[in-house]
């Protein structure tokens, strides 16, 4: 499986493969499995539909690794608008932002200022902002950004990746802030110098970090589709009698849709990550890499309809 995953990451750098996907993904519909659509209206429509079925939303306007201040500032404006739209339309859900979309890689001070602006807008609207974790070249800067913002505002949380060796230390560092942490396995292609190379090791670390989070006063978002981890979380919560407002499940739009609804039926809180926007290709390729079987439906669509 790691070989196939590497192959998909390799393909995702090949324009001959990605160009037809980018051109036809929305028109032929296969990109819509994981991406709500290209506009904010698409994202809000999906959020409303999920709300109607008892699921909460986490809106993500796609885009990453911007290189101009103006793009970072536009991202900030966009997120503030999304927050206002959520409030006006009575949609239950928050937002999730990517630091490299706010200039982290070339202007960390600007990124902090823009993140603060977004978090302050969210606070005024009684809403919450989660910060995604991107590839390992950005981890230290993202944790530092989060610390700075979280010291000033409580309505901000952070994603932490179980595949990184450093994550346990990062959680110990963040523990005094008692923040909300979204625990994920990790979606990028990372060298073995920074990340566990084997899935089994990642799963073991996910389990260990889950225990660490629930035992040390964090608010926890259990963000996984892995049945074993879902069961582990349920067991910990039952045994430790964790209050419902201290934790939730999170999944991604288009992955294990039936399971998302079943968990809501069982009485659990479920938040769905809803990406939308024109810059959907890198996100879409990561979803393919997670489950190379997904490649089949893309290739089939391209052959039949492209
Ligand atoms: C809400 C949420 C937010 C996330 N935020 C981040 C982030 O900020 N940074 C980051 O690096 N990663 C993020 N991720 C992605 C995460 O790191 C994993 O890559 C992804 O969730 C797959 O891991 P898994 O825990 O589902 O377990 P896996 O063991 O990979 O998968 C378990 C099962 O889930 C199903 N499944 C998983 N992925 C797919 C897929 N793409 N298509 C179809 N079925 C699938 C399969 O049935 C699979 O057997 C996020 C994930 C979620 C759920």
Q: Do residues 270 and 298 share a domain?
A: no
267, part of any domain: yes
Give the number of the atom of ligand 1 that is nearest the alpha carbon of residue 290.
Answer: 41
pLDDT for 306 equals 53
Where in the sequence is the domain holding 191, given as residue range(s)?
37-279
Q: Looking at the structure, do residues 26 and 104 belong to the same domain, yes or no?
A: no
Residues 223 and 273 in one domain: yes
- CATH number, residue 80: 3.20.20.220
Say whether both 19 and 101 belong to one domain: no
Segment 123-169, tens digit of pLDDT: 999 999 999 999 999 999 999 999 999 999 999 999 999 999 999 99
Global pTM value = 0.95
Whether 298 and 260 map to the same domain: the answer is: no
The verdict on residue 284 lying in a domain is: no
Among 79, 54, 66, CA closest to 131: 79
Ligand 1 contact, 224 CB (< 6 A): yes
Residue 116 sits in the same domain as residue 163: yes
Per-residue pLDDT of 215-256, as tens digits, reads 999 999 999 999 999 999 999 999 999 999 999 999 999 999
30 and 127 together in one domain: no
Query: Is the CB of residue 142 below 6 angstroms from any atom belonging to ligand 1?
Result: no
Q: 3 and 100, same structural domain?
A: no
Q: How far is the CA of 106 from the centre of ligand 1 (A)?
A: 28
Find the 191 Cα to ligand 1 centroid distance in Å: 19
Number of structural domains in the chain: 2
Same domain, 178 and 266: yes
Catalytic residue positions? 132, 182
Angle at 162 between CA 63 and CA 264, to 5 degrees: 75
Residues 25 and 114 in one domain: no
**Distance from residue 185's CA to the centre of ligand 1 (Å):** 7
């Amino acid at each position: 499986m790691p070989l196939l995953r590497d192959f998909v990451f390799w393909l995702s750098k090949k324009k001959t493969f990605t160009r037809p996907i980018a051109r036809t993904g929305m028109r032929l519909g296969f990109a819509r499995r994981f991406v709500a659509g290209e506009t904010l209206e698409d994202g809000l429509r999906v959020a409303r539909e999920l709300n109607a079925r008892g699921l909460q939303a986490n809106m993500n306007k796609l885009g990453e690794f911007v290189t101009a201040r103006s793009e970072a500032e536009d991202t900030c404006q966009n997120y503030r608008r999304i927050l206002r739209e959520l409030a006006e339309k009575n949609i239950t859900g928050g937002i999730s932002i990517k630091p490299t979309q706010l200039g982290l890689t070339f202007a960390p001070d600007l990124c902090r200022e823009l993140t603060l602006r977004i978090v302050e807008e969210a606070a005024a609207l009684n809403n919450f902002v989660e910060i995604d974790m991107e590839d390992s070249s950005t981890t230290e800067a993202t944790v530092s950004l989060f610390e700075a913002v979280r010291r000033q505002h409580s309505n901000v949380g952070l994603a932490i990746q179980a595949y990184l060796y450093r994550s346990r230390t990062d959680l110990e560092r963040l523990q005094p802030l008692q923040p909300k942490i979204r625990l994920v396995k990790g979606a990028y292609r990372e060298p073995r110098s920074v990340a566990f190379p084997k899935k089994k090791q990642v799963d073991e670390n996910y389990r260990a970090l889950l225990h660490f989070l629930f035992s040390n006063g964090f608010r926890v978002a259990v963000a996984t589709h892995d049945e074993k981890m879902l069961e582990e979380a349920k067991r910990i919560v039952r045994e430790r009698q964790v209050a419902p407002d201290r934790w939730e499940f999170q999944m991604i739009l288009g992955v294990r849709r039936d399971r998302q609804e079943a968990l809501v039926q069982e009485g659990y809180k479920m938040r769905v990550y809803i990406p939308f926007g024109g810059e959907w290709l890198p996100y879409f390729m990561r979803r393919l890499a997670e489950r190379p079987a997904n490649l089949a439906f893309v290739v089939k669509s391209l052959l039949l309809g492209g």
